[in-house]
Structure 1
Amino acid sequence: MNERTRKKPRPPLDAASLEELALFYVGRYATTRAKLRSYLGRKIRERGWQGEREPEIGALAEKCAELGYIDDAAFASARAVSLGRRGYGARRIDQALFAAGIDEADGAEARALAEDNGWDAALAFARKRRIGPFAAEPPDPDRKRKVMAAMLRAGHSYEIARKFIDSEPGNVPERED
């Protein structure tokens, strides 16, 4: 390794540089408190810590939320709408919210939104994958089984998936509320 390719080691973090990192992260990315805590923890593991006392990652994440830089409920709603438009059902959206660290209270509205838009999400999924009414020809039993598995993995209920898979090409099933 020569002189040009060797990187100078970054100095360990202190309270001020940790706050700078947090502000940079929330300014650049739509995030949650849990994701910010995870990011800051990773940065401390990578660079080390030189502060007098333990880093207050949780308090820093809460401070960013209080200042309005982070809004877990808004993040959850935006994620639910985005995933629903892409064709994912309520179960898959719930999994994504759990992975993002959204708690039950902040994610309640997003979960309700996902349930309400389940039919539209299934329609988008079927259109994108050319399933059921959007297929060129009726599927054989093996293809039906694979399509059913794909719709269930995408988070749709068995009933909705069955309606789309059993519909003939060109015949979109009626929405039942």
Structure 2
Amino acid sequence: MGERDGSGGGGKERKAGRGPRERRPILAGPAPTEARLHEAALNHLARFAATEAGLARVLTRRVGRWAQRAAAEGMAPEAIASIVDAGRAAALVVAKRMVAAGAVDDAAFAAARARRLSRAGRSRRAIAAHLAAKGVGGETAADTLEEAGTDEVTAALAHLRRRRQGPFDRNPPEEAEAARAARMKAMGALARAGFPREVAEAALDTDPAEAEARIIASRHG
């Protein structure tokens, strides 16, 4: 019998020198001028809602990414720094322009987001923190939560529903000790989610049928 060659008996041959496909570096491209950032802002807003501060952050990060790529391509640091300074200033100008044009409205953003988060079972405290992280000012956030009149008990019920606790426990323990432990566990979960004690107790004491009805009503409200 003759010796087999290294071809693997008709299998596919390996091409010498072929390793994993190398990823080509992303080119820096044109500098982030005000006009280009304006176009980037329109593209972003076509896909996502944003606040003025949030949009400015998006555009500023775009400037930062350009700077990193330009540095990797060997552009002089002094030239990069000058363009970055101008780009950051332009990002703020563009964000304000979007507000003036009505494309960005912090109050409308806050109201829509507060309603959605409340229906999803988020507490007022958690919603306020979320709005702050998105760039909504403290006064605007407070006014929004006040005007929205979010029903915290219903929000707590939505939270319990996701966790199958309280009125939504399909197999509630009958033994007093176990029932007490289950209630304390649910109370702890609601407290960590930012719900006050009185709200948590009211939600846990809600009749299962009423609890379900309140959640359904909130979704259609």
Q: C-alpha deviations, 1:104-141, integer Å up to 9, x for none?
A: 33223421155542122122222232222221214544
1:143 aligns with 2:182: yes
Q: What 5-or-longer segments of structure 1 have no aligned partner? A: none
What is the TM-score normalised by the length of structure 2? 0.67
Inter-partner Cα distance in structure 1 for 2:84 and 2:136: 31
**Who is 1:36 aligned against?**
55
Q: What 5-or-longer segments of structure 2 have no aligned partner? A: 1-18, 68-79, 215-221
Inter-partner Cα distance in structure 2 for 1:52 and 1:131: 52
**Who is 1:17 aligned against?**
36
Identify the range of structure 1 (111-120 vs 12-21) with the bigger mean alpha-carbon deviation: 111-120
Identity of aligned residues (%): 31
* Count of aligned residue pairs for this structure pair: 173
Q: Indicate how the Cα distance of structure 1 residues 65 and 52 shifts in structure 2: closer, same or farther if over 3 A, else same.
A: same
Instruction: Name which of 137, 148, 168 aligns with 1:103.
Output: 137
Q: Which runs of 4+ in 1 moved over 6 A?
A: 1-4
Q: Secondary structure at the match of 1:9?
A: coil
Q: Indicate how the Cα distance of structure 1 residues 171 and 70 shifts in structure 2: closer, same or farther if over 3 A, else same.
A: closer
Instruction: Name which of 168, 181, 194 aligns with 1:155.
Output: 194
Structure 1 residue identity aligned to 2:193 = A
Q: Indicate how the Cα distance of structure 1 residues 163 and 47 shifts in structure 2: closer, same or farther if over 3 A, else same.
A: same
Indicate the RMSD between aligned Cα atoms, in angstroms.
Answer: 2.8
Structure 2 residue identity aligned to 1:159 = E
Does the 8 Å CA contact 2:153/2:202 hold for their aligned counterparts? no
What is the TM-score normalised by the length of structure 1? 0.82
Identify the range of structure 1 (125-134 vs 93-102) with the bigger mean alpha-carbon deviation: 125-134
**Who is 2:102 aligned against?**
68
Inter-partner Cα distance in structure 1 for 2:84 and 2:185: 58
Does the 8 Å CA contact 2:128/2:142 hold for their aligned counterparts? no
